[in-house]
């Protein structure tokens, strides 16, 4: 199950993400927003990030104008490794090397074709583990500072 959410600046892409996930036969849960009317992105990013952090959802996709705000919010949650991406390579490496569990991107910065490719790669790339495991473990460890 994929948690998805956006603010008003990412609303149109979030709706397209839903259609794309349906085409891929991937289940999702939509945490809003439900219109392009102005809202506060933390409200929706927190809700979707809680679902991933708690295990209710396996991964997440968050969209705002830049992808940056929602990624900052998501990374405040226990166990979340949200990556703000603008390229397919970044999305792939976020999974492969950082075991990212939430993909964030900006409707104002990323063309839809790239967004589709990033989603596909994000959902189909596995964590390499190995030398990366130690590094990822330090992200959530106070002793890793």
Domain extent at residue 19: 2-144
Task: Give the integer Cα–Cα distance in Å for 23 and 93.
Answer: 24
Task: Give the integer Cα–Cα distance in Å for 34 and 52.
Answer: 20
pLDDT exceeds 80 at position 141: no
Contact 93, 37 (CB under 8 A): no
Using alpha carbons, select from 31, 58, 67 the residue that is nearest to residue 46.
Answer: 31
List, for residues 61-118, the tens digit of each pLDDT value. Answer: 999 999 999 999 999 999 999 999 999 999 999 999 999 999 999 999 999 999 999 9
| pLDDT classification of 144: cutoffs 50, 70, 90 | very low
85 flagged as catalytic: no
State the average pLDDT over residues 54-60: 98
Tokens at 43, concatenated: 């409200």
Catalytic residue among 8, 46, 57, 64: 64
Residue labelled with tokens 């993909």: 103
Diameter of the chain by CA atoms?
45
State the average pLDDT over residues 19-48: 98
Task: Give the integer Cα–Cα distance in Å for 135 and 104.
Answer: 21
What is this structure's pTM? Answer: 0.95
pLDDT, averaged across the chain: 95
Number of domains in the chain: 1
Tokens at 73, concatenated: 């919010």
Q: What percent of the chain has pLDDT over 90?
A: 87
Using alpha carbons, select from 41, 15, 50 the residue that is nearest to residue 30.
Answer: 15
Q: What percent of the chain has pLDDT over 70?
A: 97
State the average pLDDT over residues 114-129: 94
User: Which CATH number fits the domain that encloses residue 23?
Assistant: 3.40.1400.10
């Amino acid at each position: 199950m994929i948690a998805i959410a956006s603010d008003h600046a990412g609303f149109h892409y979030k709706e397209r993400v839903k259609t794309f996930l349906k085409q891929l036969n991937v289940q999702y849960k939509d945490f809003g927003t439900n219109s392009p009317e102005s809202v506060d992105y933390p409200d929706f990013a927190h809700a979707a990030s809680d679902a991933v952090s708690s295990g209710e959802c396996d991964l997440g996709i968050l969209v705002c104008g830049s992808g940056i705000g929602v990624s900052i919010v998501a990374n405040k949650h226990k166990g979340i490794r949200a990556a703000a991406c603008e390229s397919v390579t970044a999305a792939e490496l976020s999974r492969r090397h950082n075991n990212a569990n939430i993909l964030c991107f900006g409707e104002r910065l990323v063309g839809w074709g790239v967004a589709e490719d990033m989603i596909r790669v994000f959902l189909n790339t596995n964590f390499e583990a190995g030398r990366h495991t130690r590094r990822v473990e330090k992200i959530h460890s106070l002793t890793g500072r």
